[in-house]
A and B are shown apart, each in its own frame.
Chain A
């Protein structure tokens, strides 16, 4: 994968992640309560997007592209998105889906999930409370990132022991939202 394609894939993945997160939050206020099926599908899309994002990041780094996104990501995945995703709109909507990285990805996804579950449990308690606060405070923010940035200045440092995470600190928060979506119901 070339550096530019990797960047496009990366941007698309981030965009889908943002859209998914806002859908997740919107669904909390939906009449009839959280729909388990919908939440599950959303979390699956987010998982794929996250994996694509990280594997495309790795490709980028391979090609020597500047890892400018690395820093903001460490401060908490979604707050990172706010700075890294200044203008998602101009990005083209290619059928980038087909340009996806090769099929070794599902394997890494499984391993990634296993590795993360342990980390998530570490991160669970501190963020759990803040998640509840967010839920009450937020209506349906377009970009969840802004709320998170304000609410968890403390969490940033918590969530990012740089060397220990399997695939990057930022991932743990996204993974958190994926795994916690269902029990939150």
Chain B
């Protein structure tokens, strides 16, 4: 892989999705995830659909063009449901997708909406049997008296067909809205987290799950914080973390007890009193937590910043990156237009040297940890000529606006990038705007 992220030149590769500005609500992308090899890229949307893109085999004749991602499979994962007991509609929006490591020819992924997790098997079929002795062409069985011989059907090639079938449905385990799922490194279990509880599942067993965290107070009026995200450690199968709306992260060890209400570690940074405001609590709420690939660090995203924590140090993060500090003085307006509730995700690159997260105006930010440099890039149709190099963007916080800078007041807060993903090995990134998926790659010299 090439050098530091912020030095790299990122080029437009592809954009997926409708071109017109009128966005159908069902098409709004709600999650993006590469599989473990990076060959497959899955997106989920508000309409409950999953679209999987596959990377084509690299074109050796034209090495400057990295492989392209093309649609591999599309299926309806979740449908809207109605909870008659509570008179509530259950949205079909896909909140998260997580791939299982590949064990055989088929691919498996978990997708979840607010209440139900499903395990999908995606398999290829490129042969079909022909020459049945006992069946007609259309599949009807022949009259047994008319059969005189025995013939074994042969498999003949056919056009590739990709089938997605639901293999497991994990339902009725969450009272509140599911915000996270995470596959354990043991490849047998996974966790699902809602606002107040985390459940542990076995991938084979759908009719029961273990509750491992429960922060629901006896009296709901005493509720002060909720779970916002949870993830298993990438290497230690007994360890997981969950973040809260108060800006804390708890690391739990499942060996310690069956119910992990008591954390093993509590990561919390003391609040800066000079930054206190009405909205301090909202902006300190953590929207995403991700372990680094090597399992030594974890990254959290709150409204204005990204923080990197060393798992061995609970008192404060080792690195803090400001995503869009210029919004701090606009919190009141952002509260009124609801943007302050936006939940941004974050991701690591393959070797944990660069982290990325989204912002408004279709901007996304990369922070190079080693080089201590950062860059702001934009995903837009204007910059979508093939292999067009993305120009770094700059937001002018106040004072005189330089040429090419954008003033804070001109930012489009309806254009937000909440979901981004980084290929596990290469410098290829997937960035989701409202209803489009942009794929960028670094410039191969």
The chain A residues found within 8 Å of chain B, CB to CB, are 12, 16, 19, 23, 31-33, 35-38, 40-41, 44-45, 48-49, 52, 93, 95, 97-98, 100, 103, 117, 179-180, 182-183, 185
Within 8 A of A (CB), among B76-91: 83, 86, 88-91
Residues of B within 8 A of A37 (CB): 177, 195, 226, 228, 245, 285
CB distance from A106 to the nearest CB of B (A): 9
CA distance A93 to B332 in the complex (A): 8
The chain A residue with its CB closest to the CB of B278 is: A48
The chain B residues found within 8 Å of chain A, CB to CB, are 83, 86, 88-91, 93, 114, 176-177, 195-196, 220-221, 223-226, 228, 245, 273, 276-279, 281-282, 285, 329, 331-333, 335-336, 338, 341
Residues of A within 8 A of B225 (CB): 40
CB-based contact A36/B226 at 8 Å: yes
CB-based contact B335/A19 at 8 Å: yes
CA distance A37 to B245 in the complex (A): 8
CA distance A117 to B245 in the complex (A): 23
**Residues A33 and B86 in contact in the complex (CB < 8 Å), given A16-B278, A45-B278, A182-B223:** yes
Residues of B within 8 A of A35 (CB): 177
CB-based contact B276/A100 at 8 Å: yes
Residues of B within 8 A of A97 (CB): 277-279, 331-332
Residues of A within 8 A of B195 (CB): 36-37
The chain B residue with its CB closest to the CB of A44 is: B281
**Residues A41 and B221 in contact in the complex (CB < 8 Å), given A36-B176, A36-B177:** no
CB-based contact A44/B282 at 8 Å: yes
CB-based contact B329/A41 at 8 Å: no
CB-based contact B245/A40 at 8 Å: yes
CA distance A93 to B91 in the complex (A): 36
CB-based contact B341/A45 at 8 Å: no
CA distance A95 to B327 in the complex (A): 12
CA distance A20 to B176 in the complex (A): 22
CB distance from A54 to the nearest CB of B (A): 14
CB-based contact B332/A41 at 8 Å: no
23 chain-A/chain-B pairs, Cβ below 8 angstroms: A16-B335, A23-B338, A31-B91, A32-B89, A32-B93, A33-B88, A33-B89, A33-B90, A33-B177, A36-B196, A36-B223, A37-B177, A37-B195, A37-B285, A41-B282, A41-B285, A45-B281, A45-B282, A97-B278, A179-B221, A180-B221, A182-B221, A182-B223
Q: A23-B338, A32-B114 are in contact. List 14 more A-B contacts (CB 8 A).
A: A16-B278, A16-B332, A37-B177, A37-B195, A37-B228, A37-B245, A40-B225, A41-B245, A45-B335, A98-B277, A117-B221, A182-B220, A183-B221, A185-B220
Residues of A within 8 A of B279 (CB): 45, 97
CA distance A68 to B279 in the complex (A): 28
CB-based contact A40/B329 at 8 Å: no
CB distance from B278 to the nearest CB of A (A): 5
The chain A residue with its CB closest to the CB of B331 is: A97
CA distance A50 to B195 in the complex (A): 26
CB distance from B148 to the nearest CB of A (A): 62
CB distance from B301 to the nearest CB of A (A): 15
CB-based contact B220/A183 at 8 Å: yes
Residues of B within 8 A of A41 (CB): 245, 281-282, 285, 341
Residues of B within 8 A of A179 (CB): 221
The chain B residue with its CB closest to the CB of A45 is: B278
CA distance A30 to B282 in the complex (A): 20
Residues of B within 8 A of A180 (CB): 221
CB distance from A132 to the nearest CB of B (A): 13
CA distance A45 to B333 in the complex (A): 14
Residues of B within 8 A of A23 (CB): 338
CB distance from B96 to the nearest CB of A (A): 15
The 8 closest A-B pairs by CB, nearest first: A97-B277, A33-B88, A32-B91, A36-B195, A183-B220, A44-B281, A179-B221, A182-B220
CB distance from A168 to the nearest CB of B (A): 20
CB-based contact A100/B177 at 8 Å: no
Residues of B within 8 A of A182 (CB): 220-221, 223
The chain B residue with its CB closest to the CB of A23 is: B338
Residues of B within 8 A of A103 (CB): 273, 276
CB-based contact A38/B278 at 8 Å: no
Given A19, A95, A100, A185, which contacts B336 in the complex, CB threshold below 8 Å? A19
CB-based contact B245/A52 at 8 Å: no
Residues of B within 8 A of A45 (CB): 278-279, 281-282, 335
Residues of B within 8 A of A49 (CB): 278
Residues of B within 8 A of A12 (CB): 332
Residues of A within 8 A of B333 (CB): 93
**Residues A40 and B331 in contact in the complex (CB < 8 Å), given A31-B91, A48-B278, A97-B277:** no
CA distance A41 to B284 in the complex (A): 11
Residues of B within 8 A of A48 (CB): 278, 281
Residues of B within 8 A of A95 (CB): 329
CA distance A49 to B277 in the complex (A): 10
CB distance from A177 to the nearest CB of B (A): 12
CA distance A52 to B280 in the complex (A): 14
The chain A residue with its CB closest to the CB of B273 is: A103
The chain A residue with its CB closest to the CB of B80 is: A31
CB distance from A66 to the nearest CB of B (A): 26
CB distance from B218 to the nearest CB of A (A): 12
CB distance from B344 to the nearest CB of A (A): 14
Given A32, A36, A98, A183, which contacts B88 in the complex, CB threshold below 8 Å? A32
CA distance A33 to B86 in the complex (A): 9
